[in-house]
Amino acid sequence: MTSAPNGQKIRSLATQIALMEAAENLFSDQGIHNVSAKDILREARQKNESALQYHFKNLQGLVRAIHRRRSQQTQDKRAELLTEKASATPKLTLRDLCELMVYPTFLLAKSDPQFRKYAAAFSHEIVLAEDSALIKVSQTGGGGESGVKLGHLLREALPHLDETTYRARMDLAVRMCSAAVGNHMQQKKPLKGAAAELFIDNLLDALEGLLSAKVKKRSRAE
């Protein structure tokens, strides 16, 4: 089987990206359940009505492809920040680790307005996860080698928490983060100026406080 010519591959990739970004735009504005395949084709200016089916099989396949693309970007940015912090200090503090939970998404959204659309469109999936938000977040940017490493560092930084309490706190932390970031990305000019800095500082304060809080007897697992 011969491979497709480079020109065809480039056009195919361009179509896929156009469809994914059109979906992100519509999902962030209208909600994922209010958008149809036809809406996405129209937003992406695709005259071929079978383009979405050809490249992604169906709408669910398109959503999975969007998550794969953005998840890889998030993991790569986290790995970059981990390397920078590790080279600057011999031991990362809990505050440092909280920053590594927040900054990859924030910085990617700041450098790419389209990533902001993704964050606004899909943050609710983590917030409303029926089971573990930790599992859900691992599928949408929290996984990969950098995610696993951050998880190990967080566990080491919180020895006062037993395993059940640790997982419960982390579940709350990722839901809180996702809700805050998703809502903030919907605001006007959310990534510049004093308002953006205040948002990040407050979110980091809340995360650090949640994770470091002492465990009262009544909240311990039986």
Instruction: Say if residue 172 is in the same domain as residue 74.
Output: yes
Domain that holds residue 141: 68-219
Domain check: are 114 and 133 in the same one? Answer: yes
Whether 24 and 120 share a structural domain: no
Total-model pTM = 0.88
179 located within any domain? yes
My answer on whether 122 and 185 are in the same domain is yes
34 located within any domain = yes
User: Could you give the number of structural domains in the chain?
Assistant: 2
Residue pLDDT, tens place only, 175-217: 999 999 999 998 888 888 899 999 999 999 999 999 999 998 7
Among residues 57, 76, 97, the one where a domain terminates is 57
Q: What CATH number is given to the structural domain containing 22? A: 1.10.10
- Out of 105-109, 155-159, 216-220, which region has the weakest mean confidence (pLDDT)? 216-220
Q: Same structural domain for residues 72 and 8?
A: no
> Which of 57, 77, 103 is the last residue in one of the domains?
57
* 53 and 106 belong to one structural domain: no
CB 28 within 8 Å of CB 121: yes
Asked if residue 78 belongs to a domain, the reply is yes
Same-domain status, 78 and 51: no
pLDDT at residue 167 is higher than 80? yes
- Tell me: do 167 and 215 sit in the same domain: yes
Question: Could you tell me if 112 and 208 lie in one domain?
Answer: yes
| 63 inside domain | no
Residues 185 and 109: beta-carbon distance below 8 Å: yes
pLDDT (tens digit per residue) in 110-147: 999 999 999 999 998 899 888 888 888 877 767 889 99
